[in-house]
């Protein structure tokens, strides 16, 4: 091969290599475009747990994309009210919302299944059903009909039963009680005489303080301490059977979700799952300390009686039967959840329950 031929062929090879480099840059840029979204929250900034989990989510998305995908997190009222968050996302007012699915059951009771149902799953079981069972798939089939795509993003663990101005010793004591409660829990309690009130998180304390309501359920000791409910209601009941393992959600405008590169969709899924795990861990860490502080401040711990729990359990089953009879989408998802619940609690009675019970007895004996 003479020198001229070598240079000619070498030049062609080098040109091809350079051409490949030139083509790679735009392709890389297309896969990591600059995108700015807005996310409206249903939760006030004062709740550094729940609002904080959304802050962690948007921070993770930015860091994972080298700042190419940024999401501005907005508090309730900055664009839309707290309980209009998912609606705003569906309509395209914002690209996404951080909210609780069951806030929107007035549109369709199927929404409630995305968060939790009374006497449903605990937090670990809820995550198992969503991530490993059919939960996320079935819910997103429903959310798609609402122009939404949902990602679990936070779980509080089993919640407390709430703050009451008077003791609740029997079902009769619930008659006429005005209580702030969301989700299907309100519908079920109405069957036993409670008058449920749907009040946005920022307005709950004022309503309890002014006597507009007689009782309020929120989350648990850490958040309740920050919100100061113990100052205006003395009796702190447990368990919150309507919120055994409630999931929070990111509700994303479906068209905006579908427009995202697959890599960005993967980032959102991973960031949401990380925030989901972290929020539950934080509540498990913070609640024991906060509960002691609440008791020091005069909170009176009270368990709901077995009578109340049993009556409400039966009322819950009656409610689900009524809804299922007229809503095939609800029934499909509910039946899948209930089938998983039966197996999950069979297993929970074996190793987990036995271990926890023994350790709790050691705690009561002051051996831990």
- Where does residue 27 rank: exposed (0-12), middle (13-18), buried (19+ CB within 10 A)? exposed
pLDDT of residue 12: 37
pLDDT of residue 30: 61
Residues 216/135, Cβ–Cβ less than 8 Å: no
pLDDT of residue 125: 98
Q: What is the DSSP string of 57-68?
A: HHHHHHHHTTTS
pLDDT of residue 74: 98
Q: How many domains does the chain have?
A: 1
Q: Quote the domain boundaries for residue 280.
A: 33-154+245-284
pLDDT, mean of each 10-residue run, the chain (368 residues): 41 40 47 94 94 97 98 97 96 98 96 97 98 98 98 98 96 96 90 91 89 95 94 97 98 98 98 97 98 98 98 98 98 98 97 96 97
Residue 352 in tokens: 């987990």
In a domain, 305, yes or no: no
In a domain, 123, yes or no: yes
The CATH number of the domain where 92 resides is what? 3.40.190.170
In a domain, 267, yes or no: yes
In a domain, 131, yes or no: yes
Residue 230, SS3 per DSSP: helix
In a domain, 263, yes or no: yes
pLDDT of residue 15: 41
In a domain, 269, yes or no: yes
Residues 89/252, Cβ–Cβ less than 8 Å: yes
């Amino acid at each position: 091969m003479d020198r001229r031929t070598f240079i000619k062929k070498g030049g062609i090879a080098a040109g091809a290599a350079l051409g490949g480099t030139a083509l790679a840059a735009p392709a890389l840029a297309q896969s990591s475009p600059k995108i700015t979204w807005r996310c409206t929250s249903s939760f006030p900034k004062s709740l550094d747990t729940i609002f904080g989990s959304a802050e962690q989510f948007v921070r993770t998305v930015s860091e994972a994309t080298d700042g190419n995908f940024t999401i501005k997190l907005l508090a309730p009222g900055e664009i839309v009210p707290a309980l209009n968050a998912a609606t705003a996302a569906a309509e395209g007012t914002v690209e996404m919302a951080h909210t609780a699915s069951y806030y929107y059951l007035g549109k369709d009771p199927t929404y409630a299944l995305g968060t939790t149902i009374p006497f449903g799953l605990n937090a670990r079981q809820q995550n198992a059903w969503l991530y490993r069972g059919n939960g996320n798939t079935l819910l997103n089939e429903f959310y798609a009909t609402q122009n939404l795509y949902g990602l679990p993003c936070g779980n509080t663990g089993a919640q407390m039963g709430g703050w009451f101005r008077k003791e609740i010793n029997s079902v009769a004591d619930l008659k006429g009680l005005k209580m702030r409660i969301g989700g299907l829990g309100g519908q079920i309690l109405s069957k036993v005489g409670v008058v449920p009130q749907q009040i946005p998180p920022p307005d709950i304390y004022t309503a309890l303080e002014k006597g507009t309501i007689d009782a309020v359920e929120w989350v648990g000791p850490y958040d309740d301490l920050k919100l100061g409910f113990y100052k205006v209601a003395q009796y702190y009941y447990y368990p919150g059977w309507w919120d055994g393992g409630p999931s929070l959600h990111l509700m994303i405008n479906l068209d905006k979700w579908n427009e995202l590169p697959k890599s960005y969709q993967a980032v959102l899924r991973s960031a949401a799952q990380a925030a989901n795990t972290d929020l539950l861990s934080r509540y498990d860490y913070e609640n024991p300390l906060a509960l002691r502080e609440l008791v020091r401040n005069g909170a009176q711990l009270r368990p709901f009686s077995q009578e109340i729990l049993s009556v409400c359990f039966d009322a819950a089953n009656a409610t689900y039967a009524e809804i299922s009879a007229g809503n095939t989408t609800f029934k499909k998802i509910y039946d899948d959840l209930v089938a998983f619940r039966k197996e999950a609690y069979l297993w929970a009675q074996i190793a987990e329950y036995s271990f926890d019970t023994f350790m709790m007895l050691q705690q009561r004996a002051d051996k831990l």
